């Protein structure tokens, strides 16, 4: 027996181990009613114990290796693998410098593009014909506020053309060359522009002072002028169109040479110290777009219709004036003028007849001898008043085209019918 | 293949190692087998516990020790997975037994023999795993033949490097 175990010891151990593991596997796997084999989701106590041992045996070294890997990675990345870092740093610095220059150039291009876009937008909306130009140089002197633009006579520029920006006026073209032009800014002491204050409507001349700030001179002291008031071009200088923004009032000071005059310092609306793109007004003839042209045409058409209507009205008025009575008829004597017309429905009221007339009673001198008027009643008009309408018949019939006066004033029909017929030839056969 | 008498070779060429080597090398194999796939992903085509099992089985020339070593390594390997414990245990138990049994009869100093042996045992181990999983247990075990082939090649390459290194750790008289 001993020899059997000794002889097959190795094989028996192998079989024992295999059998034990097969039994263990059989305990872990169960067969379902459909014939499928499933591993139990929950391990048995023995299996779980083996897994705990394995996990407890392997996990600490794994954590150690993991931390070692992290540490070695950090050491490698932060200390060892830095051989070319210095060169890379130098290269990166060069790259950063180059990119900064490119960024600055791109930024400047972008800003210029925005300014040009705004300028083009303003030029399209502006009613006058303009030429866009760029400021390319200056005089180089603080006392000379002139600058040069890149457009000249070849581009249609001429002397004394207004130079503006969308913000406000800048100056005028002082000298023109074939491809450049010299612009005199409004803050130069030799410049001049007619301006008007928007609120107070005070007019003056704008020119620069010694410090390069534009100011309005030659205006009488006026305490209505306050700081912040808007200044516009007046349009009387034949250079700047009327109504362009010039700036706002900055300060009002006394004219040092003349007591009754003041000087109004202006903060220019245009950035005169940072000019890049400007517009030169080459023509002050209004330049309308299609919509504006349609509006103008419609306005002209409406204006023509109104003028014809007004003419018709004037013609009708003349006709009516010829037919209506005039105030003075040169062909009639003074006592028969239309002003003596007694056909007035509201005749002048006469005072009542006195019961005991005396020498102070009205008409006492005339009625003293006869006494006929004293006996008359107010309802009975005397011959003078009764005869008065006769003198008005003729002109009235003439002015009204022969129509009887009583037809117009029926309340006067009785007195007029009692009177002699008018002298109108049209009415008397 | 040079063949010698089993008793003679076992008596003459049993290698001995420090006790720490018996503990740390299998532990390192288990740890690296669990950790390296996280780094290599699906390219972890090797089985370090099998390599270590075969090495000690060949060097110790004891089928019982080889069997026990293989069983222990396989069981621990199974314990680290969600699979039933014993699948790899059976495969590596048989592999350890065979390696030790063959090692008694062949010259294990020859690297070519070592590589051929580890290659064949790797294929056999993979086949045993498939056999136990699919036929004994009836589990739905997905298996790709080229994966087993790559694993066998990987084990051979590792053995080509690892075996000489471990040879240096043996106790020489």
d(C-alpha A27, C-alpha A108), whole Å = 80
Q: How far is CA B116 from CA A197, B55, B108, B120, B152, in A?
A: 107, 13, 11, 6, 10
Pairing of strands A214-220, A203-208: antiparallel
Asked if B84's CB is within 8 angstroms of A28's CB, the reply is yes
∠ at Cα B159 (B157, B164), nearest 5°? 120
Query: On the CB side of A28, how many CA atoms lie within 13 Å of its CA?
Result: 28
Contact A50 B28 (CB under 8 A): no
User: Would you give the DSSP letter of residue B155?
Assistant: H
Q: How far is CA A277 from CA A59, A120, A132, in A?
A: 74, 10, 7
Cα gap B25→B170, rounded to integer Å: 12
| Closest-CA residue to B96 (of B26, B169, B172) | B26
Residue A399 has pLDDT above 50, yes or no: no
Q: What is the pLDDT of residue A96?
A: 93
Q: Are strands A277-283 and A162-164 parallel, antiparallel or unpaired?
A: antiparallel
Whole-angstrom Cα Rg for chain A: 57
The answer to whether B75 faces chain A, any CB pair under 8 Å, is yes
Interface ipTM? 0.84
The residue of chain A nearest to residue B81, with distances taken between CA atoms, is A51
pLDDT in tens, B98-133: 999 888 887 777 888 888 999 999 999 999 999 998
A68 touches chain B (CB under 8 A): no
Residues in chain A: 429
CB atoms within 10 A of CB A422: 23
Contact A77, A67 (CB under 8 A): no
Residues of B in contact with A36 (CB under 8 A): 138
Say if the Cβ atoms of B34 and A51 lie within 8 Å.
no
pLDDT tens digits, A278-308: 999 888 766 666 777 778 778 777 777 777 8
Tokens 């049994």 sit on residue? B101
Nearest CA in chain A to B61: A10
Beta-carbon separation of A9 and B35 below 8 A: no
Neighbouring CB atoms inside 10 A of A110's CB total 10
Average pLDDT over chain A reads 75
Strand partners, A251: A265
Answer whether B85 sits within 8 Å of A17, measured CB to CB.
no
Q: Helix (H, G, I), strand (E, B), or coil: what is residue A20?
A: helix
Whether the model clears a pTM of 0.80, i.e. scores above it, the answer is no
Helix count and strand count (H, E) for chain A? 10, 14
> Per CATH, the architecture of A127-283 is what?
Beta Barrel (2.40)
Domain range annotation of chain A: 92-125, 127-283
> Is pLDDT of A257 > 70?
yes
Nearest to A28 among B75, B85, B101 (CB): B85
Q: What is the pLDDT of residue B133?
A: 87
What gap in Å lies between CA A30 and CA A36, rounded to an integer? 8
Instruction: Report CA-CA distances (Å) from A245 to A50, A195, A233, A270, B162.
Output: 93, 9, 7, 9, 91
Residues in A touching B83 (Cβ below 8 Å)? 39
Q: Which residues pair with A268 in a beta bridge?
A: A247
The structure tokens listed for A372 are 């006929």
The C-alpha atoms of residue B24 and residue B17 are separated, in whole angstroms, by 11
% residues pLDDT > 70 (chain A): 72
* Angle in degrees, CA A154, A246, A197, rounded to 5: 140
Alpha carbon A142 to its chain's center: 35
């Amino acid at each position: 027996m001993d020899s059997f175990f000794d002889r097959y010891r190795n094989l028996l151990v192998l079989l024992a181990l295999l059998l034990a593991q097969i039994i263990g596997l059989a305990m872990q796997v169960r067969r379902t009613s459909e014939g499928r084999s499933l591993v139990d989701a929950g391990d048995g106590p023995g299996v779980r114990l083996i897994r705990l041992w394995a996990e407890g045996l392997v996990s600490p070294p794994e954590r150690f290796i993991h931390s070692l890997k992290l540490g070695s990675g950090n050491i490698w990345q932060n200390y060892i693998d830095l051989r070319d870092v210095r060169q890379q740093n130098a290269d990166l610095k060069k790259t950063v410098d180059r990119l900064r220059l490119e960024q600055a150039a791109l930024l400047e291009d972008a800003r210029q593009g925005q300014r040009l876009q705004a300028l083009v937008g303003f030029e399209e909306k502006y009613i006058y014909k303009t030429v866009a130009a760029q400021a390319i140089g200056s005089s180089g002197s603080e006392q000379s506020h002139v600058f040069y633009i890149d457009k000249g006579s070849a581009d249609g520029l001429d002397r004394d053309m207004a130079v503006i920006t969308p913000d406000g006026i800048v100056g005028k073209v002082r000298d023109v060359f074939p491809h450049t032009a010299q612009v005199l800014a409004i803050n130069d002491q030799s410049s001049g522009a007619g301006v008007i204050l928007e609120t107070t409507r005070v007019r003056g001349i704008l020119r620069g002072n010694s410090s390069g700030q534009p100011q309005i001179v030659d205006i009488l002291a006026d305490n209505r002028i306050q700081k912040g008031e808007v200044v516009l071009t007046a349009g009387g200088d034949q250079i700047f169109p009327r109504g362009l923004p010039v700036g706002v009032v900055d300060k009002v000071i006394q004219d040092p040479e003349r007591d009754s005059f003041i000087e109004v310092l202006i903060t220019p609306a245009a950035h005169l110290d940072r000019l890049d793109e400007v517009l030169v007004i080459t023509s002050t003839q209004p330049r309308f777009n299609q919509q504006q042209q349609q509006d103008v045409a419609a306005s002209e058409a409406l204006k023509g219709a109104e003028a014809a209507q007004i003419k018709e009205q004037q013609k009708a008025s003349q006709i009516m004036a010829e037919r209506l009575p005039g105030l003075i008829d040169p062909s009639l004597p003074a006592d028969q003028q239309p002003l003596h017309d007694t056909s007035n429905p509201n005749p002048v009221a006469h005072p009542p007849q006195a019961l005991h007339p005396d020498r102070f009673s009205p008409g006492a001198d005339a009625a003293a001898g006869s006494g006929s008027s004293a006996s008359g009643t107010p309802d009975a008009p005397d011959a003078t008043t009764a005869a008065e309408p006769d003198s008005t018949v003729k002109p009235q019939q003439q002015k009204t085209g022969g129509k009887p006066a009583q037809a117009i004033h029926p309340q006067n029909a009785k007195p007029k019918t009692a009177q002699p017929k008018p002298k109108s030839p049209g009415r008397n056969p | 293949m040079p063949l010698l008498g089993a008793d003679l070779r076992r008596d003459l060429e049993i290698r001995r190692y420090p006790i720490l080597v018996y503990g740390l090398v299998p532990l390192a194999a288990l740890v690296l087998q669990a950790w390296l796939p996280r780094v290599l992903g699906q390219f972890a085509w090797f089985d370090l516990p099998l390599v270590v099992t075969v090495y000690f089985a060949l060097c110790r020339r004891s089928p019982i020790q080889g069997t026990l070593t293989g069983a222990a390594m396989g069981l621990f390997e199974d314990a680290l997975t969600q699979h039933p414990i014993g699948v790899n245990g059976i495969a590596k138990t048989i592999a350890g037994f065979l390696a030790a049994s063959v090692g008694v009869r062949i010259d294990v100093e020859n690297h070519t023999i070592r590589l051929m042996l580890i290659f064949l045992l790797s294929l056999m181990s993979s086949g045993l795993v498939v056999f136990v999983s699919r036929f004994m247990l009836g589990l739905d075990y997905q298996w790709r033949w080229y994966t087993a082939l790559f694993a066998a090649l990987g084990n051979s390459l590792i053995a080509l490097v690892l075996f000489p290194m471990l040879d240096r750790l043996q106790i020489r008289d």
